[in-house]
A and B are shown apart, each in its own frame.
Chain A
Amino acid sequence: MVYENPDGIRIGLEIHVQLNKLKTKMFCGCSSDYHNAAPNTHTCPICLGLPGTLPVLNKKAVEAAIKVGLALEGEIAEETQFHRKNYFYPDLPKGFQVTQYDFPIVGKGKVVIEGEDGEHVVGITRAHMEEDPGKLVHIGSIEKSKGVLIDYNRSGMPLIETVTEPDMRSPKEARRFLDKFRNILEYLDVFDGNLEGAMRVDANVSVHWGTRVEVKNISSHKGVERALLYEIMRQKNVIRRGGKITLETRHFDEGRGVTISMRTKEEAEDYRYFREPDLMPMRVTDWIPAIRETLPELPDAKRARFIEQYGITDMHAKALTSKIMLADFHESICAQGVDPKIAATWTADVLLGELNYRDLVIGADVQGYAIICYNQKNPDIVRHIRVNDMVELVTFFAEGKISDRAAVEVIRSILDSKEEKTPLQIIEERGLLKAESDLVTMAVEETIAENEAAVQDYLGGAEKSLNFLVGQVMKKTKGTADAKTARELILKELKG
């Protein structure tokens, strides 16, 4: 099947990603760990752009950019350098942004996504390094602002801006690209997507192969899909009414779910790019082999291996590799000798579903020991899910000691309580072991199935045979069953 793209949709993305796994900012030694800090406490003369200060580039930022470039199968530039992008905005303390212009560190590359018609290649145009501006808070709304408050804690955070070709043919593909892209970045350990403002997306979209419109600064993957759906509908309506799409920049109003015109191309800024004279050019291609060595197994490769190695379904493999910490978690569980298929079901289907339902995200892990999840809306809610607990739970279930429902209850209980209990403790406290009567019933069923002759004898009138059958049940249950109950159950079974 080939996707026809009936509306001639082309979507390209520009994605700003904070390299927030680095300890310090792009050009100064300020800590990058500002997300819960008071305003303007993570700043220094350099990231405040005080007169006389100079930037010095964080080596790790360059290594991270190369890592990203390699993961995107991009060309790493022989020589690369920084430029100044000159414009005035209150979040920009120097009156220019240090960015890369005609010599980006990463050139053409590609990412394969699950497209409308199977595997679909999205071209990467380029990826470059730049610094983040500060953060603005409008007093009142943007439209009716009474003033603006500026916090420069974010100023100077290292960013990678990735530009794609307009290769996506539907909002769904755009969303899939972003999911995949985020996944890759997290695998590379350069990026924590859970932090606020960690990923910001500008989307270019056109219909009927026409003029493109840029929708700026969308902060979530869901937002991108919604913004694009709206924008495509709007453009189609304009054309249907005989109007023309003009080259413009629009802003996505997350609350109302609509895009609003910001400026047309005629009012476009003239950024007067020129080389940043305070930074020297770089020749870093000889770093590539060593960095390539550090590249982890990427999501696609890991997914294929999971299917192969664990014999699990593609759906499970996909879910388990959607986060590297989850994939490691699964591997640690399997390493303890439990059935990989059962483990996959309980992690991918049940655990992930329950986490999602509670807005819990995997924020960290202690490899081989646990994943650490926290609530996205209330980061104080933290849960540790231990490898050993999953192993215990899966084993109980596999041995038939607990029911499906009971196992789910154990997981829920772990996620809902801050007390750290093992599955065994929870099972005992709540009496979740398959109830006695269940065990007796099982023993009864087995006894009847195994003792055809005695059953026939009893049905033929030999009362004594019933005693034999009760004895067999008592034996199977190692004497734990109540003889009277066993007798009643046998009778019920034989008569029913």
Chain B
Amino acid sequence: MAKWMSVAQVKEKIIEDSAEEVTARYLEVIGKSKVNGYTKVSEKALEHARRIDSEGHDGPLAGVPIAIKDNISVVGLPNSCGSKILEGYVPPFNAHVIEKLLSAGAVILGKTNMDEFAMGSSTETSYFGPTANPWDLERVPGGSSGGSAAVVAAGEAPFALGSDTGGSVRCPAAFCGVVGLKPTYGAVSRYGVVAYANSLEQVGPLANNVADIAILMDVIAGYDGRDSTSIDSKIEYQKALVDDVKGLKIGVPKEFFGEGIHPDVEKAVWNAIHKYESLGATWEEVSMPNIKYALASYYIIAMSEASSNLARFDGTRYGFRESGENWHAMVSKTRAEGFGTEVKRRILLGTYALSAGYHDKYYLKALKVRTLVKQDFDKALAKVDLLMAPTMPNPAFKIGEKIEDPLTLYLSDVNTCPINLAGVPSVSVPCGLTDGLPIGLQIMGKPFDEPTVLRAAYTFEQNTDYHTKRPPEVA
């Protein structure tokens, strides 16, 4: 069995052999993993696959294994969010996307590592230790869905779910050389996904190719009455997979090619844009003057929402508890001990940004800047069909390189977080290598225009071979 298979190939293999054999094979690869991508491998995966073999299943993903980021609730599996504070917590309910996957017949391999509470771009802040980048084990896989990207890149799962608050699917997709989609806000239900920043995040798929992203989206997207922000877009994602970009207008926002961008990244992205041109698309430069304020706006909003979202982790009903002479002391000690440094920093900053006297200066200001950033997207996307830019200005950095200075780490989200402020869809696809490290091309579209975004990504894939490159370390 090939180590990297598309979903179509996996399904063929299941028919040829069995779901059990396919799952067993993935479990074997996981067993030899060098990347620490999983926080928990499911003990029931094999049994589940066997049951699908014996009982049969007519779902589109019957017997197909998948890896799930550890902030998405699955009954019977811990939901740690990469944090000590959730030690021992096992949710009694499935996330909406998990219900959808299970009814499609998917087999859950396990939960994948992440930056604690999705707060990071490197998967270094996890309580379970850092995940390594399969392309260079000394480097980070990106984050926060680093585990999901790394296991897909390392052949430990055909595809995976992550979540993207400010780039957490696209950043690790770019760093690990896989495809990752942040859907339009509202396209995928957030029910059961532990909130970091509610108004910004979406569940997103990671896979080895664009077709598999579309397959997964057809399963997980759609209306859910349990998420008040859910929207019924009725998009058929696989139908968008057409190898044709003729007449497509591409906008290149120069603000996404800012100072400090790696020259190879810039080159690779321009090569990609020229490739589109050769395939019949046109491009023009567009200006998005407020993008430079997006990062600050994004972090203020995310931290503010997070400071409230994470208040429930108080040791009272589940998870880790430190003792204290009274409830308030118990809570303060539990949170001091249970949260990692970066999470505490963000909670404190968010608390400050919402506190009396500072609410308008930080939180309200950030929301107003969000309006301006969104207007930039609206204006640009009124002129062109898609925007293209580097996903990450640089390739994967070394483990430990940026962890000490929060601001440096925050700056790596500069090209991804504006998308979350605007709520538009965005995909990262591999578009080259530099010194053996993958580079990601980011393709952004209008709200609920995933079809055009995916069509462009698919066409690029059909006409290049970047997505077939595999990491040497684990190949």
Contact = CB atoms under 8 A, between A and B. Distances in A.
B450 interface: no
Given A51-B194, A54-B226, A95-B308, A45 B328 contact: no
28 contacts: A45-B92, A51-B86, A51-B194, A52-B79, A52-B91, A52-B95, A52-B195, A54-B228, A84-B308, A86-B308, A86-B354, A88-B331, A90-B327, A93-B317, A95-B310, A95-B313, A96-B308, A150-B316, A272-B308, A272-B354, A272-B356, A274-B308, A274-B359, A274-B363, A278-B195, A278-B227, A278-B228, A278-B229
A400 to B, nearest CB: 66
B122 interface: no
A274 B312 contact: no
B73 A51 contact: yes
B60 interface: no
A152 B194 CA distance: 21
Interface in A257-296: 270, 272-274, 277-280
A15 to B, nearest CB: 26
A304 interface: no
A279 B195 CA distance: 14
Interface residues of A, number: 29
Contacts of A150: 316
Given A96-B311, A278-B198, A280-B229, 7 more contacts: A45-B93, A51-B195, A86-B311, A95-B311, A272-B307, A272-B356, A278-B195
Interface in A144-165: 148, 150
A270 B92 CA distance: 33
B463 interface: no
Interface string B298-325: 0000001101101111101110000000
Contacts of A48: 317
B253 interface: no
Contacts of B351: 272
A55 B308 CA distance: 15
A95 B312 contact: yes
A93 B314 CA distance: 9
B91 A274 contact: no
Contacts of B92: 45, 50
Nearest to B318: A50
A94 B198 CA distance: 14
**Closest 5 pairs between A and B when the two form their complex, measured CB to CB:** A95-B311, A272-B354, A277-B198, A277-B199, A51-B194
A57 interface: yes
Interface residues of B, number: 45
Contacts of A367: none
Interface in A35-65: 45, 48-57
A53 B198 CA distance: 11
Contacts, number: 102
Nearest to B197: A277
A96 B309 CA distance: 9
Contacts of B310: 95
B81 interface: yes
A51 B81 contact: yes
A43 to B, nearest CB: 10
B355 A270 contact: yes
B61 interface: no
Contacts of A270: 355-356
A52 B192 contact: yes
Given A55-B228, A96-B308, A280-B229, A50 B93 contact: yes
Contacts of B359: 272, 274
A213 to B, nearest CB: 22
Nearest to B195: A52
A93 B312 contact: yes
B46 interface: no
B170 interface: no
Interface string A105-144: 0000000000000000000000000000000000000000
Contacts of B304: 274
Contact of A90 (B190, B311, B316, B355): B316
B64 interface: no
A67 B331 CA distance: 40
Contact of A274 (B191, B354, B356): B354
Interface in B196-237: 198-199, 225-229
A412 B191 CA distance: 57
Given A50-B91, A52-B194, A277 B305 contact: yes
B439 interface: no
Contacts of A52: 71-73, 79, 91, 95, 190-195
A251 B241 CA distance: 66
A57 B228 contact: yes
A54 B190 CA distance: 8
A50 B192 CA distance: 9
B329 to A, nearest CB: 11
A257 B363 CA distance: 44
Contacts of A49: 312, 317
A54 B191 contact: yes
B100 to A, nearest CB: 15
Contacts of A84: 308
Nearest to A152: B317
Interface in B178-193: 190-193
Nearest to A278: B198
A457 B354 CA distance: 105
Of B86, B93, B95, most A-chain CB atoms within 10 Å: B93
A86 B308 CA distance: 7
Contacts of A94: 311-312
A320 B355 CA distance: 51
Of A48, A57, A88, A277, most B-chain CB atoms within 10 Å: A277
Nearest to A268: B356
Contacts of B314: 88, 90, 95
B232 to A, nearest CB: 14
Nearest to A87: B311
A274 B360 CA distance: 11
Contacts of A273: 354
Nearest to B301: A277
B114 to A, nearest CB: 14
Contacts of A53: 93, 191-192
A88 B95 CA distance: 26
A90 B330 CA distance: 11
Of A52, A84, A96, most B-chain CB atoms within 10 Å: A52
Contacts of A50: 73, 91-93, 318
Contact of A272 (B81, B93, B317, B355): B355
A327 to B, nearest CB: 40
Contact of A88 (B190, B328, B363): B328
Interface string B314-348: 10111000000001100100000000000000000
A273 to B, nearest CB: 8
Contacts of A88: 311, 314, 328, 331
A280 B95 CA distance: 21
Nearest to B319: A51
Interface in B123-176: none
A53 to B, nearest CB: 7
B444 to A, nearest CB: 22
Contacts of A280: 228-229
Nearest to A145: B326
A272 B328 CA distance: 18
A274 B313 CA distance: 19
